Structure 1
Amino acid sequence: MSVSIPDDWLWIVILGFIVSFLLAFGIGANDVANSFGTSVGSKVLTLFKACVLGTIFEILGAVLIGYKVSDTIRKGIVDVSPYNNSEKLLLMGNLSALTGSCIWLFIATLLKLPVSATHSIVGATVGFSLVAQGSRGVGWFKLGLIFLSWFVSPVMSGIISILLFLFIRKFVLSKEKPLENGLKLLPLFYAVTILINAISIFLDGSELLHFDKIPLYGSFIISIGLAVITAILVRIFVVPWMRAKIEEKLLKCQEEGEDVPDAKYVHGNGHVDLEATSEKENVMQNASLPQADEGVSKADTALAGDSNTALLGTVVIVSEDKKIAELDGFGSGSSGDSSSSDSKDETTRATIKDHPVTNKLFSFLQILTAVFGSFAHGGNDVSNAIGPLVALWVISTEQSVAQKAATPIWILLYGGVGISVGLWVLGRRVIQTMGEDLSKITPSSGFCIELGAAITVLLASNIGIPISTTHCKVGSIVFVGRVRSNDNVDWSLFRNIIFAWVGTLPVAGCLSALMMFLLKEYAL
C-alpha cells in the first residue's frame, strides 16, 4: 500500500523517527535497571545475560501489550480536536515532545539518575500543548489520573511485594526445612507468574494480533490452562532436577570436608543459629573471642551456582552473646569485619542475606520475574518512545488529527529495538542505583520486588494508564527493604530519587515548550 505524505511535512516525520529512536535508546539505557537491576545486583544474572533476555522480552512486550498505552500517550494526554485544520502544528508538537523528553532522559542517564520516562514524555506533551493551544489543549482529567497513578503506583507495588515477601518468609524462610517447603511451593510460584502474564496478554489484548477477538471467559480459560500446565511441568521436571542438583553439591562439599550450614536452623530473617548446629565449633572456636573466617566457604559458593560466584562472602560474627553468624550476601559491597564502624546502615545490611540453599532456590524465580518485568517494561515504556511517533505517522498519512488507524506493529518493533540498543550500550550506568545502592537485595526479596512491580505495571498497561515502572520498582525496593530493616534502605538516596522524580515533568515540559516555540517562530 502506497503512503502519501505532504512534502512540507516530510522533514518533520523524518526527524521524528530519528529523535524517537534516540528517545527509545535513552529509555533502554535508563530503565534497564527497572527490569534487571535486582537480578544483576544480587549476582543471579550477569549483565550480558540480562541484556540478551532484555532484548528478547522488551520487543515481545512492545508488540503484545504496548499498543494500548501508546494510544493513551498519543491521544489521551492532549485533546487533538483544537488542531483540526492545523495538522502541521500538531506534528511539530509531537516532534517537540520527543525532543524535550529525549534531552532530559539523556541528561538523567549521564547523571545516573533513575527517572521516569513516563513523567518525561507526559510533561513534554503538556509543554508543547501549552505553547501551541494554551491550557484548553490539555486533557486535564486524564492528566489528573496519571498524576494520581504516580503516587498510587509505588505504594500499590510496594504493598503487593510486601505481601509476597511475608508469605515466603512465613512458609519458606522461617520453616525448619526451607528447602523442602520451597520446592513444594515452587510450582505455585511459577504458575502464578505465568497466570498473571497470560491474563495481561489475552485480556483486552492487541488488535493487531487479533487477541481482542478472544472472549473474556476464553482469556481466563487459556491463562488458567497455561498456569496449570506450567505448574505440572515444574513439579515433574524442575523440582526433582533442582533437588538433585542442590543435594549433589551439598554431598560434594561434605566429601571435601567443607562445613555446610544446616538449612533447617536458618531463621526467617536470614540468621544462622550456631547454637543449634553441630558445626558451631568450626565457625566460633572461642565464644569470648569472636572471630571472622577470612576465606569464602566453598559450600556457599557451590550452592550459589556458577553465576553466583561472588554472591556469598565471609562469615561475620555479629553478636558474641547471641552467637549469631551471618552469611554475607554481597561479596562486592560488604565487609567481613564486624568491628568496622563505618555506618549503622552497612552493619545492618551485612546481616541481611539468604541461606545458600534458599539462595539457589529463588535464583531461578528471580530470573523468571526479571523476564516478566522486562516484558512489562517493553509493553509500558515503549509507548513513551513511539506514542508521539505514531501520532506523527498516522496524522501525516491520514492527513487528519483524528488518528483512526491502529498503532502499526512495525513502529512498535522499532521502539522495542531502540530500547534494546540503549540497554546494551549504556544500561549499566543506572543499574547500580537500583540493584545495589538503594537497598540490600537477596534472591528471595528480589523475586518479591520484581513480581510485585511487574503485576502493577501489567495491570496498569491493560487499563491504559501509563504509570511509571521506575516508581513501581523503587516503591517495591523501599517497602520490602523497610520490612526487613529500617536501616536497610538508603533514605538519603531515596530522597534524591524523589527530587529527580519531581523535577522530571517540569524540566521535560520546559524543554519541549522551548522547542515548540522555536518551531512555531521559524518553521511554521
Structure 2
Amino acid sequence: MSPVPKGWKTLDKDLSRISRIELATGSVARSIIGRAIAVAFLLVAALVAAVVWGAQPNLLLVIAATVFGSYMALNIGANDVSNNMGPAVGARALPMGVAIVLAAVAESAGALLAGRDVIHTISYDILQIETVTNTQGLVWAMLAALIAAAGWVNLATWVGAPVSTTHSIVGGVLGSGIAALGFDAVNWPLVAMIAANWIISPIMGGVVAAAILAFVKTQIMYQRDKLAAAVRWVPVLVAIMAGAFTSYLMIKGVDRLFTSASSAVPLAGLGVGCLTYVIAAPLIEYKARGMENRNRSIKALFTVPLIISATLLSFAHGANDVANAVGPLAAIVHATQTGTSVADVAVPNWVMVIGALGISFGLFLFGPKLIRMVGDQITKLNPMRAFCVSLSAAITVLLASWMGLPVSSTHVAVGGVFGVGFFREWYMKRRRQRLKTSQPKQAAFPAEEVRRRKLVRRSHFLTIVVAWMFTVPAAAALSALLFTVMMTFAG
C-alpha cells in the first residue's frame, strides 16, 4: 500500500475543524430559532388577547398579563415536564423526539380535556381573599407574581435545576401580596405547610421509589425463575399504577371529564386497576414467551408500562399544573372585567388554550436540556428503575392528596430518582460489607475507588436542593420588588 501523502493529513485536520464549526453553528442556530419561535408565540398570544378583549377598558394591561402568562406556560413546558419524561428517556425506553411529541400531546390533552373549568386564582389561597378590597392593587400584584415566577423558573432551567412551578407562583403571590396588602393578608399556616413540603415531597417520593425498587429486586430480579416472577408481578404493578392515576385525577376534580363524590374515588381506582390487570396479564405473558431467564429480558417487560406511566404523568401534569400559568391570568381578566375579586373564577377557553399551547411549545423548544438532566445525569436508569420512579410519583401524590399534604409533583418525581439511586448505593455498600465479612482476606477498595463508585451525582443533588430551598423566597422577593416598581410608575 502506498504511503498517504503528507498534505492529506492537513486536509483531514481542516475538514475536522470545519465539521466542528458546522456543529457549533448548528447548535447556536437552533438556540436562536427556538427563541425566535418563543417570541413569535408570545406575539400571537398578545394578538389573540387584543382581538378577544376588543374595546373593553385596560386593554394594555390584559395584553401584558397574557404575554407573561404565556411566558410562564413556556417555562412550565421547559422545566416541569422533564420530571415526567426524563426517566423514560434516560432508560432508553423512548428517543428524545418521540418523548417530546408524546409529552406535548398528553400535556395539551390533560390541560384542555381535564383542566379545571374553575381555578383557585390566589394560588392555594395564599392570600386571604376576603381581605382584598383594592381590586386594582390585586391585578398589579398578580401580574408581578406571574413575571417573578416565570423569571425564576427560566433561571432554574438555564442553570439546569428542575424546580416546582407551583412553588414559584406561590412565592410570587406571597411577595406581591405582602407588598400590596401587608402581612395580615397572608395565610401563614398554609405558607408553613408549603415550606414543610420542601422536605416532605422528596423524602416521600424517594422512600416510595426505593421501596418499590426493593420489592421488584426481591420478588423478581433475585428469584431463581425471574421470568415467571415477572409475569406474575408486573401486571400487578401496572394495575396499581392505573388505579393510582384514576384516583388522583378524580381527587383533583377533573370536572371536564367527570364529577364524582369522594366516596366513589377508591371504588373507581379499584375498578380501573382490576380492569387493567385483566388486560395486562395476558399481554405480558404473551410478550414473555421465548424470552431468556435474564435480567435484560425482565427489564424489557417494563418498557411499555414505563411509556404508559410517563404518558399518564404528563396528562395528569397538564390537567393540574396548567393552573400555574392561567390561574393568575384568569384572576387578572376577571378582576379587570368585573371590578371584583373572588377566590374562584371561570377560566375563559382562550386562556386555557394559550396555557396548553405554551406548555407544549416550551417543551418542544427548551425541554430537552432538563429531560437529559433528570434522565441521564442524576443516576443511571433502566426501564425497571424508571418505572419505579413513575409509579412512586403516582402513589406518593395520591397518598399526599388523601392526607391533605400540599406536595409538589416536581419534588416527588425528582425525589424518586434520587431515592432509586441512593437505594442502589446503599445496597452495593451492603454487598461489599458482606463480601468483606465472608472473605476477610480480600483487599478493600481504596477511598478514591469508593468515591468513584457513587451512583448519585452529588453536584446535581446539591444544585437541585439549593434551587428548591430558594424558589419561594427568591420568587417572593422578586415579585415584591416588581410590584413596588409597578405601583411607583402607575402613580
* Inter-partner Cα distance in structure 1 for 2:397 and 2:185: 28
Question: Which of 256, 262, 272 is 1:226 aligned to?
Answer: 272
Amino acid at match of 1:505: V
TM-score normalised to structure 2 length: 0.78
Equivalents in 1 of 2:255, 2:335: separation in Å? 20
For normalisation by structure 1, the TM-score amounts to 0.73
Report how far residue 412 of structure 1 moved.
3.6
Provide the aligned C-alpha RMSD in A: 2.6
Cα distance change on mapping 1:457 and 1:60 into 2, 3 Å: farther
Equivalent position to 2:95, from 41, 46, 71: 46
The whole-number CA distance in structure 2 between the counterparts of 1:4 and 1:83 is 25
Take 1:21 and 1:141, find their aligned partners in 2: how far apart are those partners? Answer: 31
Cα distance in structure 2, aligned partners of 1:42 and 1:149: 28
Letter of the 2:267 counterpart: I
Residue 6 (structure 1) shift:
9.0
- 1:263-282 to structure 2, matched below 5 A, reads 263=294
Q: 5 Å matches for 1:16-415?
A: 16-63=65-112, 66-67=115-116, 70-71=119-120, 73-74=122-123, 76-84=125-133, 86-203=134-251, 205-209=253-257, 211-212=258-259, 214-236=260-282, 238-244=283-289, 247=291, 263=294, 355-408=295-348, 411-415=351-355
Once the two structures are TM-superposed, the CA of residue 508 in structure 1 deviates from its matched residue by 1.7
1:449–1:480 CA contact under 8 A, matched in 2: yes
Instruction: Report how many aligned residue pairs link the two structures.
Output: 414
Deviation, structure 1 residue 125? 0.9
Amino acid in structure 2 at the alignment position of 1:55:
A
Give the secondary structure class of the aligned counterpart of 1:427.
helix
1:230-285 per-residue CA deviation (whole Å, 9 max, x = no partner) reads 2111223x1243124x53xx6xxxxxxxxxxx52xxxxxxxxxxxxxxxxxxxxxx
Q: Quick check: 2:163–2:410 contact (8 Å CA) kept in 1?
A: yes
Structure 2 counterparts to residues 433-512 of structure 1, below 5 A = 433-460=373-400, 467-486=407-426, 487-512=454-479
Distance change (3 Å), C-alpha of 1:477 and 1:75 = closer
Preserved contact between residue 67 and residue 412 of structure 1 (Cα < 8 Å): no
- Residue 519 of structure 1 pairs with residue 486 of structure 2: yes
> Structure 1, residues 352-373: CA drift from partner, whole Å, max 9, x if none?
xxx2111211112211221222
Kept in 2: contact 1:58–1:419 (CA 8 A): yes
For the 8 Å contact 1:78–1:138, the answer to whether it is kept is yes
- Find the counterpart in structure 2 of residue 309 from structure 1: none
Alignment check: 8 A CA contact 1:165 1:445 kept = yes
Tell me the equivalent position of 1:426: 366
Question: 2: CA distance between counterparts of 1:418 and 1:11?
Answer: 20
Question: What CA distance in whole angstroms lies between the structure 1 residues aligned with 2:114 and 2:407?
Answer: 14
The letter of the residue matching 1:226 is V
The superposition leaves residues 392-428 of structure 1 with CA deviations (integer Å, 9 ceiling, x where unpaired) of 1222233211245344565344322211111111111
CA 1:107/1:203 → structure 2, altered by over 3 Å: closer, same or farther?
A: closer
For structure 2, list consecutive stretches of 5 or more residues without a partner in the other structure. 1-51, 427-453
- Look up the equivalent residue of 2:462 and give its one-letter code: R
Q: CA contact under 8 A between 1:118 and 1:466: conserved in structure 2?
A: no
- Distance in 1 (CA, whole Å) between partners of 2:117 and 2:463 is 32
Separation in 1, partners of 2:60, 2:404: 31
Q: Percent identity?
A: 32
CA distance in 1, matches of 2:350, 2:395: 26
- Relative to structure 1, the CA distance from residue 6 to residue 147 in structure 2 (aligned partners, 3 Å threshold; closer, same or farther) is farther
Residue identity opposite 1:95 in structure 2: L
Q: Which residue of 1 aligns with 2:59?
A: 10
Q: Deviations over 1:492-514 (max 9, x none)?
A: 32012111222222222222112
Is contact 1:100–1:508 with CA below 8 Å preserved after alignment?
A: yes
Give 1:241's aligned amino acid.
Y
Gaps of 5+ in 1: 251-261, 264-354
What SS does the aligned partner of 1:78 have? coil
Deviation at residue 8 of structure 1 after TM alignment: 4.5
Gap change, CA 1:79 and 1:444, over 3 Å in 2: same
